[in-house]
């Protein structure tokens, strides 16, 4: 199987051979940080364009088709507009918190990228508690949203931030239990080991019905956690103008906008890792010939394809379902998803103990 592991080892050996270990480590951190920022910038451009084209397809229209070939430069033009646009700070706002909030949300997104494996041996940090790390760090993003809503000195922003806080805290329970079901099945919190356990088949197929239920709950919960329609109560345009980022403009608004799409990519990457094998090719048990053919496709292609398929599903939700009311949104979590998640976790535990999975 093609792997980028040799590339990372080559760079590491070259730096350590010519520089002291401390300087080499600092340079490696700078390289990784630059790659992460570049990835975020490219993801923002690609996912905004993809969203517009997907929505246009579902509504039987063309979408962006003027700026650049087939509208490819439209998102670049929009980004340039946001970069040069003047940023305003409202009167009465807490200036420090108002300016800090978008960076807080963006930093959390960058931290979440660390344990994700893009292909074999190509990840920032293969921490042995990767799933726990992701669950813990993702909870911090709500602080940035609450900070933005409160510091704006705007009632609409504060209402949007409070809605977002209630929504994220609620749906984190179901998302956490869905992820925990897969941890019970694999017996590990380390993402590389979870991927390796799917060498003879992805867990979405090997884990029987509880794995499918876990995936359905996960995809619904993370859609709500990222404030995406039909769960976008935090920025309901018809009620709250733009919610917690009503008062933001220019580059600070661009950071919130970019963080939303980066978070979509991250939760879909986690879903692809837990349920669809991450970078692992599609293998079927002991079918050696078939598995060997699948190995010719690079791991990064498998990972990207699975992640973007899940992104498409989340976009499909947005352009299919109407927005829920806040009471419907919370009822869905506390009366339906949470009890089902708890029962499913119990069922998955029984399957794991008895060894009934494939």
Indicate whether 236 pLDDT > 80. Answer: no
Q: Identify the pLDDT of residue 272.
A: 95
Would 244 be classed as within a structural domain?
A: yes
Q: CB–CB of 344/210 below 8 Å?
A: yes
Other CB atoms within 10 A of residue 251 CB: 15
322: left (phi over 0), alpha (psi -120 to 50) or beta: beta
**Measured torsion, CA atoms of residues 194, 195, 196, 198, in degrees rounded to the nearest 10:** 90
Alpha-carbon gap, residue 110 to 188, rounded angstroms: 23
Average pLDDT over residues 335-352: 93
Reply yes or no on whether the pLDDT at 34 is more than 70.
Answer: yes
Lookup: tokens for 225: 């956690």
| Tokens linked to 299 | 């791991």
* 272 is a domain residue: yes
The pLDDT, as a whole number, for residue 191 is 92
User: With the CA atoms of 322, 328, 333 and 339 taken in that order, what torsion angle do they form, in degrees rounded to the nearest 10?
Assistant: -120
As a whole number, the mean pLDDT across the chain is 87
Beta bridge partners of 119: 122
List CB contacts of 143: < 8 A, sequence separation 6 or more. Answer: 104
Domain annotation covers residue 196: yes
Q: Is the pLDDT at 1 greater than 80, yes or no?
A: no
Count CA atoms closer than 13 A to 271's CA, side-chain side. Answer: 29
Whole-prediction pTM = 0.91
Q: Tell me, yes or no, whether 307 lies in a domain.
A: yes
Residue 165 belongs to some domain of the structure: yes
Distance CA 295, CA 297 (A): 5
pLDDT of residue 234: 66
Q: Would you state the structure tokens that stand for residue 55, as one six-digit string? A: 């929505």
- Evaluate if residue 18 carries a pLDDT over 90: no
Residue 340, CB-side half-sphere exposure with 13 Å CA sphere: 22
Local confidence band at 3 (pLDDT 50, 70, 90 cut-offs) = low
Tell whether 26 is covered by a domain: no
Tell me the pLDDT tens digit for each residue of 44-70. Answer: 899 999 999 999 999 899 889 888 888
User: Given CA atoms 313, 316, 321, 324 in this order, what sign does their dihedral have?
Assistant: positive
User: 39 pLDDT exceeds 60?
Assistant: yes
> 277-298, pLDDT tens digit by residue?
889 898 887 788 888 888 888 8
For the chain, what is the domain count?
Answer: 1
Domain range holding 154?
A: 87-354
Question: For residue 151, is it within any domain?
Answer: yes
For residue 164, pLDDT over 70 is answered with yes
Residue 326 lies in a domain: yes
pLDDT score of 239: 60
Give the pLDDT of residue 241: 65
Give CA–CA dist 176/174, Å, rounded: 5
| pLDDT-derived band at 338, boundaries 50, 70, 90 | very high
- Residue 2 above 60 pLDDT? no
Cis peptide, bond prior to residue 230, ω within 30 of zero: yes
| Average pLDDT, integer, range 179-207 | 90
């Amino acid at each position: 199987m093609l792997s980028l592991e040799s590339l990372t080892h080559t760079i590491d050996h070259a730096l350590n051979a010519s520089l002291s270990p401390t300087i080499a480590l600092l340079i490696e951190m700078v390289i990784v940080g630059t790659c992460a920022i570049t990835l975020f910038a490219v993801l923002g451009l690609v996912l905004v364009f993809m969203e517009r084209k997907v929505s246009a397809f579902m509504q039987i229209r063309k979408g962006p088709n003027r700026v650049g070939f087939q509208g490819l430069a439209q998102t670049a033009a929009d980004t340039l507009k946001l970069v040069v646009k003047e940023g305003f700070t409202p009167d009465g706002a807490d200036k420090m918190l108002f300016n800090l909030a978008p960076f807080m949300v963006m930093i959390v997104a960058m931290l979440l990228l660390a344990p994700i494996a893009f292909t074999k041996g190509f990840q920032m940090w293969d921490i042995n508690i990767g799933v726990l790390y992701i669950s813990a760090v993702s909870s911090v993003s709500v602080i940035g949203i609450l900070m933005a809503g409160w510091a704006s000195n705007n009632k609409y922003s504060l209402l949007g931030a409070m809605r977002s806080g209630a929504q994220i805290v609620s749906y984190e329970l179901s998302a956490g239990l869905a992820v925990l079901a897969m941890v019970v099945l694999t017996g590990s919190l380390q993402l590389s080991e979870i991927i390796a356990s799917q060498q003879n088949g992805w867990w979405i197929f090997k884990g029987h019905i509880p794995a499918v239920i876990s995936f359905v709950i996960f995809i619904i919960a993370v859609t709500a956690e990222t404030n995406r329609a039909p769960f976008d109560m935090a920025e309901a345009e018809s009620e709250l103008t733009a919610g917690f980022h009503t008062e933001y403009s220019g580059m600070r608004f661009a950071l919130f906008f970019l963080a939303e799409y980066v978070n979509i990519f991250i939760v879909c990457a986690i879903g692809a890792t837990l349920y669809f094998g991450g970078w692992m090719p599609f293998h079927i048990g002991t079918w050696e010939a078939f598995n060997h053919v699948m190995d010719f496709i690079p791991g990064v292609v498998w990972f990207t394809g699975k992640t973007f398929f899940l992104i498409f599903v989340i976009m499909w939700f947005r352009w299919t379902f109407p927005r829920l009311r806040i009471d419907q949104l919370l009822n869905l979590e506390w009366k339906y998803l949470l009890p089902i998640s708890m029962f499913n976790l119990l069922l998955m535990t029984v399957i794991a103990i008895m060894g009934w999975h494939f």
